[in-house]
């Protein structure tokens, strides 16, 4: 497995790749969710490149950049065992020069959901993804459905900036209790992880209510809130029902298929999750 740390090496490596190239951008602290993305790339592409970079541009001042989990030696060993061709592990100074002043900003899809709570986030994500696309010119890029809004924005970025890249989405991987796998789960004790499983079960409660023809957004929010409030350590940041085309809020009633997404704090740790509710068309 080739390890690259310098930008100049990226161009040389890519020039010598033949066939399709899959890119899996990560921030490390790899888990089974990442491995599903990587395995999909290995299955689809002739070459698989994984990046490990904790991107400072997508963290706010009071967020967890300094404490973000870092398990680089374990990550590299797992990537070797999977059969990854190349791993890119740049420093922040390699990716961003001292006078770096150009950023990529999406102005429609990023207004909602995570964009409200973390207004800096998607500019940081889009900027680093564009950099990675420019360095490796992948034919395919792999992103998880757990970060649903990010996936929407990456697809928009590929379309609007005319990248010849196929964006491949991979379903959310969960533990046995239903908790979506996340690197930030490493912050949680085993008990906290069990409590955090209420996030997904709460989303399923909302889905059950929709199946039973309860389509009023305020009532659905009450159902979710009541479920989350049964676990004292959990605090809702938002629950949203969003258009699958624009991510605009849908309401006051649900009359179309929607993305149902949430961010919930457990203690000081912020976790996100989502499901897509498909409203079947009447015959």
Cα 265 from chain centroid (whole Å) = 17
Residues of the chain with CATH 3.40.50.620: 2-170
pLDDT in tens, 137-150: 999 999 999 999 99
Q: What six digits make up the tokens of 148?
A: 């649903």
Instruction: Share the mean pLDDT of the chain.
Output: 97
Fold classification of 2-170 is: Rossmann fold (3.40.50)
Model confidence band, residue 280 (pLDDT cutoffs 50, 70, 90): confident
d(CA 182, CA 184): 5
- 212-242 burial, b if ≥16 CB within 10 A, otherwise e? eeebebeebbebbeebbeebeebebbebbbb
0.85 exceeded by pTM: yes
Residues of the chain with CATH 3.30.1300.10: 183-277
CA distances from 219 to 87, 169, 238, 244 (A): 47, 31, 15, 21
Q: Is residue 172 a contact partner of residue 146, using CB atoms and an 8 Å limit?
A: yes
What pLDDT, on a 0 to 100 scale, did the predictor assign at position 143?
Answer: 98
User: In 83-147, which ranges are continuous DSSP H helix?
Assistant: 92-95, 114-117, 121-136
- 28-66 burial, b if ≥16 CB within 10 A, otherwise e? bbbbebbbbbbbbbbeebebbbbbbbbbebbbeeeeeee
Over residues 107-113, the mean pLDDT reads 95
What pLDDT, on a 0 to 100 scale, did the predictor assign at position 282?
Answer: 59
Q: Is residue 271 a contact partner of residue 184, using CB atoms and an 8 Å limit?
A: yes
Q: What's the CATH number of domain 183-277, 3.40.190.10, 3.30.1300.10, 3.30.930.10, 1.10.3470.10?
A: 3.30.1300.10
Say what percent of the chain tops pLDDT 90: 97
Phi/psi at 215 (nearest 5 deg)? -120, 10
Say what percent of the chain tops pLDDT 70: 99
Question: Looking at the annotation, which residues are catalytic?
Answer: 34
pLDDT in tens, 12-47: 999 999 999 999 999 999 999 999 999 999 999 999
């Amino acid at each position: 497995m080739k390890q690259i740390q310098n930008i100049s090496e990226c161009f040389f490596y890519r020039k010598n790749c033949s066939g399709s190239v899959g890119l899996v951008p990560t921030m490390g602290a790899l888990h089974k969710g990442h491995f599903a993305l990587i395995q999909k790339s290995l299955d689809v592409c002739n070459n698989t490149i994984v990046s490990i970079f904790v991107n400072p541009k997508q963290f706010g001042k009071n967020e967890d950049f300094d404490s973000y989990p870092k398990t680089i030696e374990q990550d590299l060993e797992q990537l070797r065992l999977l059969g990854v061709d190349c791993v890119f592990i740049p420093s922040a100074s390699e990716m961003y020069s001292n006078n770096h002043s150009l950023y990529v900003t999406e102005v429609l899809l990023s207004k909602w959901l995570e964009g409200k709570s973390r207004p800096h986030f998607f500019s940081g994500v889009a900027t680093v993804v564009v950099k990675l696309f420019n360095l490796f010119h992948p034919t395919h890029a792999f992103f998880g459905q757990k970060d649903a809004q990010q996936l929407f924005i990456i697809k928009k970025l590929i379309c609007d900036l005319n990248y010849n890249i196929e964006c491949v989405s991979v379903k959310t991987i969960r533990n046995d209790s239903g908790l979506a796998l996340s690197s930030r789960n490493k912050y949680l004790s085993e008990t906290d992880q069990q409590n955090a499983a209420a996030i997904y079960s709460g989303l399923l409660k909302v889905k059950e209510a929709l199946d039973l023809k309860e389509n009023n957004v305020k009532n659905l929010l009450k159902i979710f809130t009541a479920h989350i409030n049964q676990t004292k350590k959990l605090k809702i940041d938002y629950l949203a029902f969003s258009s699958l085309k624009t991510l605009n809020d849908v309401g006051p009633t649900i009359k179309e298929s929607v993305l149902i997404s949430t961010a919930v704090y457990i203690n000081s740790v912020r976790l996100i999750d989502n499901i897509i509710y498909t409203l079947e068309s009447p015959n």
